[in-house]
A and B are shown apart, each in its own frame.
Chain A
Amino acid sequence: MEWFWPEGFYTLLMIGVFAFAAFVWDMPIAVAMAMAAITGAIAAGEGVPLRHQVEGEFGYVDTILIIATAMVFMKVIQRTGLLESIAAWVIRKFRGYPVLLSLGIMFIIMVPGMITGSSTAAVLTTGALVAPVMMELGVPMLQTAAAISMGALFGMIAPPISIPAMIIGAGVDIPYVGFGMPLLICTVPLAVICSLWLIYPYVRKPRDEASLEAQLAKMSRVPMSLRLFLTVIVLVVLLGGERTLPLYWPSLGMPLSFLLASASGLLSGVRWNPIETVTEAIDEALPVMGILMGVGMFIQIMTLTGVRGFVVVSALALPSWTLYLGIAISMPLFGAVSSFGSASVLGVPFLMALLGQNEIVVASALSLVASLGDLMPPTALAGIFAAQVVGEKNYFKVLRHCMLPALLTVCWGIAVILMAKPIAKLIF
């Protein structure tokens, strides 16, 4: 009881107020998070700490800018007709090779995450590109969103760039060197299984060729040309330049890169209304941006009142045989705040608790488990945007289809931790 009081009470109070405001009063999630944070602060005798509330929100300012600008980019490539034209081309080219097509689609989804370390970037760029392809090939809407979500997570963790692995490594002064192979071991088997599970069963089914051809003709009404691809080319050059020539290329940051790429859409040769497009993009992104601000406030108050420490030490206090269970449950759950936050707040202590295994392999596996936080409501950055990309309003329907792949991901992550020593012997 001495351990539980008062931080355990604050924990329950904050969760309770959030749940009540969100589900009983039907408040927007962002507002419910803010109400829970304020209640927690008042209960802990901190009053309404305005400075803390504002400061907490700033933890997500970069993410919010990326979301807003990536959403603008996605809308632009929709408006110019690029999305549908690419989809039609891919289907025509590869529909005879369903296994290759399934694996290829998964790889395409992963690429932006591999390069940028962001699952959101993966969902909103190539995720948005392949979504119409997949649905046209017969993959149901929810499975499409689930495949995009999972692919984005695996892309975020796969090398060369895995920010959660970097964060966990930096927490114990391990430089980001030698992570390539462990991260591939963590992600490639899962990516293959998920593509064969969520995509292949649908794309291998025979289809009515005439109706498909008619549909493809409609989709490819805007002819593929270099000008049409300008937005994607600009984005690849801007993001790729920073990665490949980091010492010479100016660091523009993802938001500016997305904006410049979107602006180049004005030269695509297809007429579209920029104001209308940007308004629509921001309108759609606004609820998620609001959630992030609410979560930022929430986590700052959690830290202020001692709730964060209570949660972390309680997880570490699990008996040794349940430590792995603790990792499997607490890291994805805490990822509801953000997967990067989970990697930092829980990943580092868990890695320290597992010192003596191979730290690079363990950190890679922990980053894989932490990545599942991007499926966890209320933030669920990968999941919510994947739902939005396919046009599904209710994210929870998508989450249902992510459950088994997510469970598999957790099991694989734990298995890699348990096998860290033999894996390290094999690869180092």
Chain B
Amino acid sequence: MRSSRGTALTAAALCVAVALICFVSARSFLAMRLPDPVAPAQGFERYNLSHWFPALKGSPGDSDVYIQDSGVPGGTVFIMGGTHPNEPSGYMAAVVYLERAKVTKGRLIVMPFANATAMGHNSPQEASPQYFSLDVDGGTRWFRYGSRATNPVYQWPAPDIYIHAQSGQKLDGGSKSNLNRAYPGVPDDSLTQQVAYGIIQLLNKEKVDLAFDLHEASPEYPVVNAIVAHNRAMELAAMVSMELEMAGIPMRLEPSPVNFRGLSHREWGDHSDALAILMETGNPSQGRLRGKTDAALAVTGKDKAYLKAAALGRLFIPYEGDQTLDLRTARHVTSMKMFMDMLGDVKEGGDVEVEGIPSFDDMMERGIGAFLSPVEDDRFDGK
């Protein structure tokens, strides 16, 4: 190994170069912290997670929560996207509900970007796009493509080993920044654990009957295009899974493992009365086998490396060259609608009726952008 020594002049020149690089790249990183504007449908009221857990007030984890109450007695459904902001169909499905839903019975709570700080950065060495765009009526909507983990600016350093507080389960230290390993949360621990705690408070205080945590998974991951259900939610989930199968939208049913702790489908069910459901669609842009990584991959899912991996029999989804964001989002949206339609069958008085949600075929035909409203977005100066 050779060490290079220079002069005071080279040192000064390097310092100037470093300062310039810092300035230019920092602008790009900081811009990602600006939230994605949304256009909630009429009837939604905006809250923050701190409404249920005041310690989060003013913190970067104080995510937006929207509630629409029909005024007609019924159940309460909670939809959460953005646990992992590198899994865009999760939060896009939540946004579709937020911008389209008209609740006619019961209540609907939508938290589109659960881990707010994870939306504002990318994971190093993943080369993820910072944003992707969708054509909407009269313009373009931009959404951030974030990271699986809480922004380390707010939670650092990671411990060497993450020990789940309630079970003692050990995971790699990085998992402490993973919201879906943090439940039921700890009120006085790191930001991720506090956000998890706040969500459990919300589920309990709002007496949520049915709760969704929307995810995506790599196509090579065994639990993909799947519904993972807590044991109390298995009956409902089995009914929905069969219904989806008949509709030609297969979503495999997986029971929530009892020995894998900290995940929403396990802890929400154990620590609240909600029927806890986690859903996964197949997202090539987050997989380990993916080729060129860019915004187009996030939106189209077109990837020749995955095509080859499919031919090798390495994938757990049918992959014929693409896996569009429209398809992935439509899977979530349609599955949730079926869950809501059947909720009353398994939970007396738990009916929730929602209108205005596009059908699977509509979303496939017109794209999900057709069901999003135009918004003013200062981040891109009208671009």
Contacts and interface: CB of A to CB of B under 8 A. Distances in A.
Interface of A: 2-3, 7, 26, 28-29, 31, 44, 50-52, 54-59, 62, 65, 116-118, 161, 163, 166-167, 170-173, 175-177, 242-243, 246-247, 251, 253-255, 283, 286-288, 291, 296, 299-301, 303-306, 309-310, 312-313, 316-317, 341, 344-345, 348-349, 352-353, 355, 384, 393, 395
B172 A163 contact: yes
A313 B124 CA distance: 21
Contacts of A7: 291-292, 305
21 contacts: A2-B304, A55-B29, A56-B127, A163-B173, A170-B175, A171-B288, A175-B260, A177-B169, A243-B160, A246-B161, A247-B165, A251-B157, A253-B158, A287-B3, A299-B125, A304-B127, A304-B292, A306-B292, A310-B291, A349-B220, A352-B222
Interface string B12-30: 0000000001001100110
A247 B163 contact: yes
Given A309-B292, A316-B289, A393-B1, 20 more contacts: A3-B304, A3-B308, A7-B291, A7-B305, A50-B21, A175-B261, A176-B171, A177-B259, A242-B160, A247-B163, A251-B159, A254-B160, A299-B125, A303-B126, A312-B289, A316-B312, A345-B288, A349-B288, A349-B314, A384-B1
A105 to B, nearest CB: 25
A286 B3 contact: yes
A245 B285 CA distance: 39
Interface string B104-145: 000000000000000000101111001000000000000000
A300 B127 contact: yes
B204 interface: no
Nearest to B158: A62
B271 interface: no
Contacts of A3: 304, 308
Contacts of A242: 159-160
B205 interface: no
A196 B24 CA distance: 55
For this complex, into which size category does the number of interface residues on chain B fall?
A: 35 or more
A16 to B, nearest CB: 20
Given A55-B124, A58-B124, A316 B314 contact: yes
B25 A50 contact: yes
Contacts of A296: 124-125
B247 to A, nearest CB: 28
B337 interface: no
B70 interface: no
Contacts of A254: 160
Nearest to B26: A54
A13 to B, nearest CB: 15
Nearest to B311: A317
A339 to B, nearest CB: 13
Most chain B CB within 10 A, of A116, A255, A310, is at A310
Per CB-CB distance, the 4 closest pairs between chain A and chain B, nearest first, are A59-B124, A306-B291, A306-B292, A309-B305
Given A28-B3, A62-B158, A246-B163, A54 B21 contact: yes
B309 interface: yes
B2 interface: yes
A54 B18 CA distance: 11
A3 B220 CA distance: 19
A62 B157 contact: yes
B347 interface: no
B290 interface: yes
B293 interface: yes
A52 B127 contact: yes
B288 A54 contact: no
Contacts of B47: none
Interface string B235-268: 0000000000000000000000101110000000
Contacts of B294: 304
Contacts of A299: 125
Contact of B169 (A28, A176, A253, A355): A176
Contacts of A166: 161, 170-172
Nearest to B169: A175
Contacts of A384: 1
B223 interface: yes
Contacts of B161: 117, 161, 166, 243, 246
A303 B293 contact: yes
Contacts of B160: 116-118, 161, 163, 242-243, 254
Contacts of A51: 25, 28-29, 130
Nearest to B126: A303
B209 interface: no
A301 B124 CA distance: 11
Contacts of B170: 166, 175-177
B308 A313 contact: yes
B62 interface: no
Contacts of A395: 1
B37 to A, nearest CB: 23
A306 B303 CA distance: 10
B24 A28 contact: no
Interface in B300-322: 303-305, 308-309, 312, 314
Contacts of A57: 124
Nearest to A160: B170
B2 A28 contact: yes
A59, A166, A288, A309, most chain B CB atoms within 10 A: A309
A306 B293 contact: yes
A363 B172 CA distance: 14
B308 A317 contact: yes
A68 to B, nearest CB: 14
A32 B159 CA distance: 32
Interface in B160-183: 160-161, 163, 165, 169-173, 175
B1 A310 contact: no
A300 B3 CA distance: 25
B172 A352 contact: no
Contacts of A288: 1
A2 B291 CA distance: 13
Contact of A28 (B4, B122, B308, B309): B4
B127 A303 contact: yes
B92 to A, nearest CB: 23
B36 to A, nearest CB: 19
A349 B292 CA distance: 18
Contacts of A253: 157-159
A316 B222 contact: no
A253 to B, nearest CB: 4
A175 B122 contact: no
Contact of B223 (A173, A246, A306, A341): A173
Nearest to B2: A28
Contacts of B130: 51
Nearest to A2: B304
